[in-house]
Amino acid sequence: MSVSVSEARAVGGSLDVDRLRADFPILQRPMNGRRLAFLDSAASAQKPQCVIDAERACYEEYYANIHRGVYQLSQRSTQAYEGVRRTVQRFINGADEREVVFVRGATEAINLVAQSFVRPRLQAGDEILITGMEHHANIVPWQMIAEATGARLVVAPVLDDGRLDMDGLRERISTRTRFISVVHVSNTLGTINPVEDIIELAHQQDIPVLVDGAQSAPHMPVDVQAMGADFYVFSAHKTYGPSGAGVLWGRLEHLEAMPPYQGGGDMIRTVSFEETTYAPPPQRFEAGTPNIAGVIAMGVGLEYIEAADREAIVAHEQSLLGYANERLAEIDGLRVIGTAPHKAGVVSFVLDGAHPHDMGTILDMEGVAVRAGHHCTQPLMKRFGVAATVRASFGLYNDREDVDALVDGLKRVREFFG
Amino acid sequence: MSDLRELYQEVILDHNKQPRNFHGIDPHDHEADGYNPLCGDQIHLELRLDDEGRIEDIGFQGQGCAISTASASIMTETLKGHTVEEAKALFDRFHHLVTDDHAEPDPSLGKLGVLAGVRDYPMRVKCATLAWHTLQAALDEKGEITTE
């Protein structure tokens, strides 16, 4: 099976954004009579034609259930699906393709680790350490197992500029800390956390660490081995792939020691009514028929990012971030939430006298799609004393024209809410 | 899509900037909290009924967008002196106005009519009805509602 992926878009280390934009059908469609400025890739990214074609080709040309049929269609589907493990392994530089478990998304991956890896290790009084800038998906699964076991959820504080308080984190690692789960890049603040340092600290005390990579996988080179992570998770829909697919990467020794998360077909070795033996990882964690076409298309999304060149993506999105900060400073009464020196392409802000939802509606009418709300980080909103923010986030297809449209839209907001 | 001026009418912007009855009611005999988990808007509503079951005084506190703040403000302004039954009937007519594309202008709604533009923005209907759902919760002594 071969799915054509656009040829490399990076020329001399910089992205050819106009050519990239042409790969995304939705960006060719006007919004309210204007060029669509899609600034919500942190919530979910748009899809290039090659991803859409890959999912379609699977259904049109070779679809069948995997791992069971002896007929050719099943073999082709199985090969395409299993082939994505190598793509993911390369994408995040895993040590072994068996470390790649396909899940529905980062949320399911975290729940899997919480239930299968962490929960059996917890006793009353033990602690799970997270940070104050976690997405609800990296809070609630830990609360659930803490409640079930009598363990405690401990939270490392966030500094006023949106940096993680590393001293605060260090102080909160105790002899009872059994696990640390930390976001790589904050979806609300854009802060890039020093996960290597956190992991090094944790490993000095033999504490395993999960890195929530939902916002890092699409935007920067990721090397899970250099990082030293025990688990790394991300969602395909943010890496320009389809929704309903994602990755749990875990060190093989961990995965091998973990009991299954769900029981069913495809995760067993033998089943009798007296006893069932489980398949080794990754199949052990993939009960039931998975999102076959979704996983295949996810692989194509990852190849698309690789072809675009991740260093070039970083440079491009950093340049956009700088431009956005510069232009947003023109708007009176606008305050950026999250000004850490080391940030990804996310700008959250509030505006005096204008509620984020009203801004969202007015910007939408101007063809600008932003997120308005709490971004599934309510504790972080509370930390910064706001109920909601507007968030503009960049993908590889955004350009300065999108930022200009945002600023023009905010000037329109000012006409209503002066 | 209609013009933004249809949605953000001057009356709405005015009530957003200077919400009426934006305070607690002391003493009060009914109260409730309304919460929109989608956007984080929250409202606390208090009211007092007189001996004949009329709304003698009503006020709200909390934070929300212009639509939810203006809607709460205009609602409290409108409801004073009305019976509980009249208030519930008003909510029905108001709900119809902001959700039904074919709703005719309803002069009996008075100033509440300025919120009719919301029906062109389905994502914002809950902003306009949050105060009313909270009123219903207060009258039914439910204590708390969320618009999900």
Backbone region of residue A116 per phi and psi (left: phi > 0; alpha: psi in -120 to 50; beta: other values): alpha
3-state secondary structure of B88: helix
Does A416 touch chain B if contact means CB atoms closer than 8 Å?
yes
Residues A384/A365, Cβ–Cβ less than 8 Å: no
| Residue pLDDT, tens place only, B88-137 | 999 999 999 999 988 888 888 999 999 999 998 988 999 999 999 999 99
Give the start-end residues of each E strand in B8-109: 30-36, 41-49, 55-63
Backbone region of residue A333 per phi and psi (left: phi > 0; alpha: psi in -120 to 50; beta: other values): left
How many C-beta neighbours within 10 Å does residue A274 have?
Answer: 5
| Angle in degrees, 0-180, between the axes of helices A310-328 and A292-308, rounded to the nearest 10 | 80
Does B65 touch chain A if contact means CB atoms closer than 8 Å?
yes
Q: What is the DSSP string of A75-131?
A: HHHHHHHHHHHHHHHHHHT-S-GGGEEEESSHHHHHHHIIIIIIGGG--TT-EEEEE
Residue-range domains of chain A with CATH: 10-46+309-413 (3.90.1150.10), 54-306 (3.40.640.10)
* pLDDT score, position B2: 57
Size of interface A-B (CB pairs under 8 A): 49
Check CB contact under 8 Å for A356 and B13: no
* pLDDT score, position A271: 87
For the CA atoms of A332, A333, A338, A342, the dihedral, rounded to the nearest 10 degrees, stands at 20
pLDDT in tens, chain A (418 residues): 444 444 444 445 689 999 999 999 999 999 999 999 999 999 999 999 999 999 999 999 999 999 877 899 999 999 999 999 999 999 999 999 999 999 999 999 999 999 999 999 999 999 999 999 999 999 999 999 999 999 999 999 999 999 999 999 999 999 999 999 999 999 999 999 999 999 999 999 999 999 999 999 999 999 999 999 999 999 999 999 999 999 999 999 999 999 999 988 888 888 888 888 899 999 999 999 999 999 999 999 999 999 999 999 999 999 999 999 999 999 999 999 999 999 999 999 999 999 999 999 999 999 999 999 888 898 999 999 998 999 999 999 999 999 999 999 999 999 999 8
Among B8, B63, B123, beta carbon nearest to A387: B63
For the CA atoms of B16, B19, B24, B28, the dihedral, rounded to the nearest 10 degrees, stands at -110
Cβ burial B58-72 (10 Å sphere, 16+ → b, else e) = bbbbbebbbbbbbbb
Going by C-alpha positions, the residue among A325, A330, A391 that lies closest to residue A356 is A391
User: How close A334 gets to chain B, by Cα (Å)?
Assistant: 17
* pLDDT score, position B3: 82
Check CB contact under 8 Å for B67 and A417: no
Q: For chain A, count helices (H), then strands (E).
A: 14, 17
User: How close A310 gets to chain B, by Cα (Å)?
Assistant: 34
Among B39, B66, B124, beta carbon nearest to A388: B39
* pLDDT score, position B142: 83
User: How close A357 gets to chain B, by Cα (Å)?
Assistant: 6
Does A381 touch chain B if contact means CB atoms closer than 8 Å?
yes
3-state secondary structure of A3: coil
How many C-beta neighbours within 10 Å does residue B87 have?
Answer: 20
Going by C-alpha positions, the residue among A136, A201, A141, A200 that lies closest to residue A171 is A201
| Residue pLDDT, tens place only, B39-59 | 778 999 999 999 999 999 999
Check CB contact under 8 Å for A32 and B17: no
How confident is the model over B4-25, as a mean pLDDT? 95
| Residue pLDDT, tens place only, A203-237 | 999 999 999 999 999 999 999 999 999 999 999 99
Fold of B4-140: Sufe protein. Chain: A (3.90.1010)
* pLDDT score, position A13: 65
Cβ burial A385-395 (10 Å sphere, 16+ → b, else e) = ebbbbbbbbbb
Residues A212/A241, Cβ–Cβ less than 8 Å: no
What amino acid occupies position A394? F
Going by C-alpha positions, the residue among B57, B2, B63, B64 that lies closest to residue B31 is B57
| Residue pLDDT, tens place only, A125-139 | 999 999 999 999 999
* Measured distance CA(A169)–CA(A253) in Å, rounded: 27
End-to-end CA separation in angstroms for chain B: 25
What ranges do the domains of chain B cover?
A: 4-140
* pLDDT score, position A78: 96
* pLDDT score, position A68: 79
